[in-house]
Amino acid sequence: MIKRVLPFFTLLLLLSCGKISTTKSLKLAHGLDVSHPVHKGMEFMAERLAEQSKGELTIEIYPSQQLGTERQALELLQIGSLAMTKVSAAVLENFAPNTKVLSLPYIFRDRAHAYAVQDGQIGKALLTQSEKFWLRGLTYFDAGQRSFYTKERPVNTPKDLEGMKIRVMESVTAMNLVRSLGGAPTPISWGELYTALQQGIVDGAENNPPSFYTSRHYEICKYYSLNEHTAVPDILVIGTVAWNNLSVQEQRWVQAAADEATTYQRKLWQASEEEALTEVQKAGVEVIRPDKSQFFEKTKGILETYRSDKEIYDLIQQIQAVKE
């Protein structure tokens, strides 16, 4: 009896194992809080991917720097230890140099112009140019416009930044921008910034309203100056190791889910900006709306420094020529 029954149960076990192995899971890590609108956009993508693939392909999300900083996550993608991550375009420029064009001051006229660039030929080309660095961009998430927030004194004009240590991302472009305004750029990991502000390692930072709010940096910095010097998008990135391990159909599912998440996240973002500004003002933050033309004048020379770099300068001119 045992000899007759054992092969039957062995076959059932093999069939069961085979069924389980058809389900694939992609690990996605990022540094944002779960209340952040970009995280919610990625949650929406995970839901849509599971629905489209009928559970054959799923995404596991690890927020709040559980698996490292943005730079570390990109390095994990390159070696295939992690499938996906969300990074600022400013951080991605360390791996895909042409991406720096998206971080230049006042490169976008407004939100509609930014969307037109990102959704058009220029944006799509930039997403795939990073493949030679084992990274493939899937889509852009709206990360709003970045502005300065400070502890001790408000920033009404560029002169007010003189002598201030301002936290920036690990980005040469971001550091050059702060220097052009008279500040002292200080690269610090996003996860370490709250403590750095508390301890006085830096005098302030720069970011969009939802990030200022969800990070609780408003508990320390009581001045928020909406000079809106850059509109650096977030980029959803998949490692080419993970991408190439997907079938053509699975790749289509992933891209379709990312595209749907982009539309959803952009709507969510605009509502989040209004909520963030309302809440930080309730918490005692002074929101300042300075004359942005002064900041534009001080930083416009940065674009001209790329005149000797034909590839980047051509991109700058192409972006400026895009109509909404």
pLDDT recorded at residue 170: 87
Which amino acid is residue 311, in one-letter code? E
| Same domain flag for 74 and 207 | no
pLDDT digit string (tens) for 220-245? 999 999 999 999 999 999 999 999 99
| Same domain flag for 138 and 176 | no
Given 242, 259, 275, the domain boundary residue is 275
* Residue 125 to residues 66, 99, 316, 318, 320, Cα–Cα distance (Å): 31, 10, 14, 13, 16
- Measured distance CA(253)–CA(48) in Å, rounded: 9
pLDDT digit string (tens) for 206-218? 999 999 999 999 9
| Same domain flag for 65 and 186 | no
Average confidence (pLDDT) over 46-52: 98
Q: Is 65:191 a contact under the CB 8 Å cutoff? A: yes
- Domain encompassing residue 134: 22-91+112-142+233-275
What is the SS3 assignment for the chain?
A: CHHHHHHHHHHHHHHHHHHHHCCEEEEEECCCCCCCHHHHHHHHHHHHHHHHCCCCEEEEEECCCCCCCHHHHHHHHHHCCCCEEEEEHHHHCCCCHHHHHHHCCCCCCCHHHHHHHHHCHHHHHHHHHHHHHCEEEEEEECCCCEEEEECCCCCCCHHHHCCCEEEECCCHHHHHHHHHCCCEEEECCHHHHHHHHHCCCCCEEEECHHHHHHCCHHHCCCEEEEEEEECCCEEEEEEHHHHHCCCHHHHHHHHHHHHHHHHHHHHHHHHHHHHHHHHHHHCCCEEECCCHHHHHHHHCHHHHCCCCCHHHHHHHHHHHHCCC
Average confidence (pLDDT) over 35-53: 96
pLDDT surpasses 60 at 16: no
pLDDT surpasses 50 at 8: no
Instruction: Work out the percent of the chain whose per-residue pLDDT is above 70.
Output: 93
Average confidence (pLDDT) over 194-217: 97
pLDDT surpasses 50 at 19: no
| Same domain flag for 254 and 128 | yes
pLDDT surpasses 70 at 45: yes
pLDDT surpasses 90 at 139: yes
pLDDT surpasses 80 at 152: yes
- Tell whether the torsion through CA atoms of 178, 184, 188 and 194 is positive or negative: negative
| Same domain flag for 35 and 65 | yes
pLDDT recorded at residue 297: 95
225 lies in a domain?
A: yes
In the numeric block, the tokens 């961009």 are attached to 137
107 lies in a domain?
A: no
pLDDT surpasses 90 at 5: no
Average confidence (pLDDT) over 52-68: 96
| Same domain flag for 120 and 86 | yes
Confidence of residue 23 (pLDDT cuts 50, 70, 90): confident
* Number of residues that make up the chain: 324
| Same domain flag for 243 and 284 | no
pLDDT recorded at residue 64: 93
102 lies in a domain?
A: no
Q: Mean pLDDT over all residues of the chain?
A: 92
Confidence of residue 14 (pLDDT cuts 50, 70, 90): very low
CATH number of 246's domain: 3.40.190.170
| Same domain flag for 174 and 71 | no
| Same domain flag for 83 and 192 | no
- Measured distance CA(130)–CA(140) in Å, rounded: 14
1 lies in a domain?
A: no
| Same domain flag for 32 and 178 | no
pLDDT recorded at residue 294: 96
105 lies in a domain?
A: no
Q: How many domains does the chain have?
A: 2
| Same domain flag for 52 and 173 | no
| Same domain flag for 124 and 253 | yes
pLDDT recorded at residue 324: 80
pLDDT digit string (tens) for 257-308? 999 999 999 999 999 999 999 999 999 999 999 999 999 999 999 999 999 9
184 lies in a domain?
A: yes
